[in-house]
Amino acid sequence: MIQTTQGVCNPVVVLDAPGADLHDAILSMSAQFREEQGVDDAYFAAIERALHTELDQGPDTSESGVAVLHATVDVPGPPVAAVVRLATPCTACSPDGTPIDFAWVLVSNQSTHPRLSLAAEFTKLMHDATFREGATAAPTGGALLRLYEEALSRKVGLVDTPPGLRYTGKLFGGVREDLRRRLPWWVDDFRVGIDMKVVGSTLFMFFACLAPAIAFGGLLHELTGGQIGAVETILASAISGTLWALFAGQPMAIVGATGPNVIFTGILYGLCVTYDAPFLPTAAWTGLWSMVFMWILAAFDASVLIRWFSRFTDEIFAVLIGLIFIVQALSDVRGGFEDPAVADDTALFSLVLALGTFAVARGLSRFRRTPYLRSKVREFFSDFGPAIAILAMSAAAMLLPSVALPELPVPDRFEPSIERSWVVNPFDAPTWVWGASALPALLLTILVWFNQNITARLINSPDNRLLKGPSYHYDIAVMGTLLGIMSMLGLPWVVGAVVRSLNHVKSLSRAEDSDANLGVLENRVSNLSIHLLLAGSLLFLPLLAYVPMAVLYGVFLFMGVGTLGGNQFADRMRLWLMDPEKYPETHYLRAVPQRVIHTFTIVQLLCLAGLWVVKSSSIGLAFPFFVAMLVPVRLLLGRMLDPEHVALLDLEEVPADEEFREVGV
């Protein structure tokens, strides 16, 4: 049955189109274009050719059971639009295996179809259960379009709001929603964690978490006059990570010490020296105040503000953090050549070990995509690739004992950096500190709130295909509790670590031969095992010295480069080095003019440069505020350029089978 309407949208509507797959269903109704929208023979022939080509390449986007095919023809004629409800849901052409129930077909001789925004709104509305049920059961095409028009007029279900970020208006309403969403999966998170993939992820991420803990511990030792060091930082990661794995809503995040928190701690120590206040008790009050502030933010659903962030902001932040890891790794390797106290053979061997660790880890992690050996063997080498690289390069270093290499700077035994009890008494601080510490606590809260929520957004990106749902509000409350615990133990504050978290997700990616099997092994066992190993390492600190620092430089490089994999911003920068005739078939290159694409990328690059300058300057503590400023930049960009083009470049979910996308790390 085919009908049209003269209302807000006037596509051809096909209900229950027959066919074994999307290809058959679309081609079976293509002749109706001629009847319903009055196209001539030449234009109709061009439409059929375009549809054949588009269907061979697959949908431009596929989300919420809706496929969008946007084809361009070079023959003059009116724009053609159709919405097709399939008689039988199709999974063959769905990148993530989600059955496709509806398809929007858009054909015109323009670079952007005038009805493209209607297709995008229809896809968003399908997130709403009420609209989906009505659209699936609509008896006629007119009824479907009337339902659509009504939904557009009343904005059904806050369709622009990502899951988990809808304001409840109730005290702790968001926390309760998060618990209702995630608590039923708690047992399953342990059940599915009994898997060899988890073993490989654990071994890799143990070193990936140990290295920054030691590095930040050394920096904290300098910034706090020796009152907090590597032991405290490893212990903070172990305790926080274990508690997070057990009690957080989203266990895929990795929590630990991060650069902004470490710098803030150093500034707080400087204030304590200036005002003659004991550092650890003052830090305890600061952390306790921050814990209360975080609970208040969780109680009033403050994390809904993160919904204003989009792929535009997420990509810039992820590239920034990835570049920090890459630059740090390369800087550490280069330092061996510039330091006159380091022998040439030491510097050269360190370079070989670092690059060798990177090359072996990256090569093995991508081995699953090769045709060699059996699939189970490929999966084994891919899952254990980083761990194999670390062990192989450490063994290579042991085979050449004549070359002195810098070792992990671990202490000889497990004890506090200064002589003290493991529990800090906050009442050892002067009375005026009890209230005055609320001011630095407010800044600490902002730092942690931004970092944690952005990490959560990146983890829960549709690109990662997580199925168990997010937990923004409840996890902010859990993070606040961890701040309080760390403060009372005199340990550094932790927060979601972007690079470690994204690499954790990628290390658990189930990248089989078919895109339909892509996904992530969502579990709590890997996170728990990683941090139990960190805790155990405190009992065998001297053994860690057998791992050369150069190997960990390679791990840093691997993690940084892995963070850029699949990042659309990084992919679009690569276009500047490519022959335009060799550009890959991505959804945005099919529908958005190259001039707009490059302008969008340049704006992101300028924002990235600005954030790099801020984080490296004396106003580094204001970094979260500058991250927040990316939101108005994105809104302004939508006014400077065609909003439909910008929307396509900023899609939350894109096809997973595009040529640029990398599976795994």
C-alpha span between 223 and 221 (Å, rounded): 6
b/e string for 516-540 if b means 16 or more Cβ within 10 A? bebbbbbbbbbbbbbbbbbeebbee
Residue-averaged pLDDT of the chain: 84
> Scanning the structure block, which residue is given the tokens 């921050």?
290
- Dist CA 335 CA 342 (whole Å): 9
DSSP single-letter state for residue 366: T
* pLDDT score for 199: 93
pLDDT of residue 97: 58
Q: How far apart are CA 374 and CA 367, in angstroms?
A: 11
User: What residue type is assigned to position 51 of the chain?
Assistant: L
Ramachandran sector of residue 16 (left: φ over 0; alpha: ψ -120 to 50; beta: rest): left
- On whether the CB atoms of residues 568 and 311 are closer than 8 A, the answer is yes
What are the mean pLDDT values of the chain's consecutive 10-residue runs (665 residues total)? Answer: 40 75 65 62 76 72 79 78 81 63 81 72 77 84 82 53 81 94 94 92 90 83 88 95 97 91 89 94 97 97 89 90 88 89 91 95 87 86 87 92 81 84 95 95 92 91 84 97 97 93 89 52 95 92 82 88 86 90 79 89 95 82 82 89 83 51 37
Q: Cα 566 vs. chain centroid, distance in angstroms?
A: 10
CB 474 within 8 A of CB 175: yes
What's the number of CA atoms in the CB half-sphere (13 Å) around residue 434? 6
DSSP 20-59: SSHHHHHHHHTHHHHHHH---HHHHHHHHHHHHHHHHH--
Architecture of the 2-158 domain: 3-Layer(aba) Sandwich (3.40)
Rg of the chain (C-alpha set): 27
- Name the residue with tokens 């297709």: 119
CB atoms within 10 A of CB 631: 16
Residue 165: exposure state from Cβ atoms within 10 A (0-12, 13-18, ≥19)? buried
Structure-block tokens of residue 642: 């065609």
Instruction: State how far the Cα of 627 lies from the Cα of 607, in Å rounded to an integer.
Output: 9
φ and ψ at residue 548, rounded to 5 degrees? -65, 150
State how far the alpha carbon of 532 is from the alpha carbons of 205, 285, 603, in Å: 12, 28, 43
Q: How many residues does the chain have?
A: 665
**pLDDT attached to residue 155:** 47
Contact in structure between 325 and 514 (CB atoms under 8 Å):
no
Instruction: Give the span between the Cα atoms of 67 and 60, in whole angstroms.
Output: 7
- SS3 assignment, position 267: helix
What token pair was written down for 576?
């500047």
**How far apart are the C-alpha atoms of 491 and 261, rounded to whole Å?**
12
pLDDT recorded at residue 439: 93
Token pair belonging to 213: 């803990």
pLDDT at 661: 41
Q: Which residues pair with 487 in a beta bridge?
A: none
Q: Quote the pLDDT of residue 597.
A: 92
Q: How far, in Å, are 237, 478, 495, 588 from residue 186 at the CA level?
A: 22, 16, 22, 38
Alpha-carbon span 117 to 121, nearest angstrom: 6
Residue type, 616: S
Which among 228, 145, 204, 269 has a CA at the least distance from the CA of 500? 204
pTM tops 0.85: no
Nearest to 386 by CA among 243, 537, 574, 208: 208
**Under a CB-based contact definition with an 8 Å cutoff, are residues 496 and 455 in contact?**
yes
Residue 34: the pLDDT is 60
Nearest residue to 423 (alpha-carbon basis) of 494, 479, 493, 485: 485
**The dihedral sign for the CA sequence 310, 311, 316, 320:** positive
SS3 content of the chain, % helix, strand, coil (to 5): 65, 5, 30
The pairing of strands 61-63 and 12-17 is: unpaired
How far is residue 216 CA from its own chain's centroid?
23
pLDDT at 657: 41
For residue 123, give the 3-state DSSP assignment. Answer: helix
Burial bucket for residue 590 (CB in 10 Å: 0-12, 13-18, 19+): middle
Domain boundaries, the chain: 2-158, 179-649
C-alpha triplet 520, 521, 522: angle, nearest 5°: 95
Strands 61-63 and 66-72, sheet pairing: antiparallel
Print burial letters for 343-372: b (CB count within 10 Å at least 16), e (below 16). Answer: eeebbebbbebbbbbbebbbebbbbbeeee
Give the per-residue pLDDT at 660: 42
